[in-house]
Amino acid sequence: QKEVEQNSGPLSVPEGAIASLNCTYSDRGSQSFFWYRQYSGKSPELIMFIYSNGDKEDGRFTAQLNKASQYVSLLIRDSQPSDSATYLCAALIQGAQKLVFGQGTRLTINP
């Protein structure tokens, strides 16, 4: 069973601080990883994808991938109250046409 694991939280971060979200995956063959943001009752909204080891930055967001440790993370700098949401980590399973999602981490940014 190919799994993606996330700490469900809640993770509470003060406004302006860095929020750090983590994810591990079991399928060593997975090549691509995605971070989606999901507001309550809404659909997943893509934030970033990463498929190379190392860091990838996009504005206030940085995704990090370590394939040796099977670990993916998302850093949100200068956190805003509007960043309060559930963050979903997903892995594209090698050779398969599907995403496997973690259970999501609920993030709250406190003003």
Partner 1 sequence: EPEVTQTPSHQVTQMGQEVILRCVPISNHLYFYWYRQILGQKVEFLVSFYNNEISEKSEIFDDQFSVERPDGSNFTLKIRSTKLEDSAMYFCASSEDYRLETQYFGPGTRLLVL
Q: State the residues that interact with partner 1 by CB under 8 A.
A: 31-32, 34, 36, 41-46, 49, 51, 88, 90, 92, 96-104
CB nearer to partner 1: pick between 65 and 88: 88
CB nearer to partner 1: pick between 16 and 59: 59
94-to-6, 26, 30, 89, 111 alpha-carbon distances in Å: 20, 12, 5, 16, 41
Query: How near is the Cβ of 80 to partner 1 at its closest, in Å?
Result: 22
**Of all helices (H) and strands (E), which one includes residue 19?**
strand 19-25
How far apart CA 19 and CA 97 sit, in angstroms, is 31
CB nearer to partner 1: pick between 18 and 96: 96
Name the nearest CA neighbour of 37 among 98, 93, 90: 90
Query: How near is the Cβ of 14 to partner 1 at its closest, in Å?
Result: 27
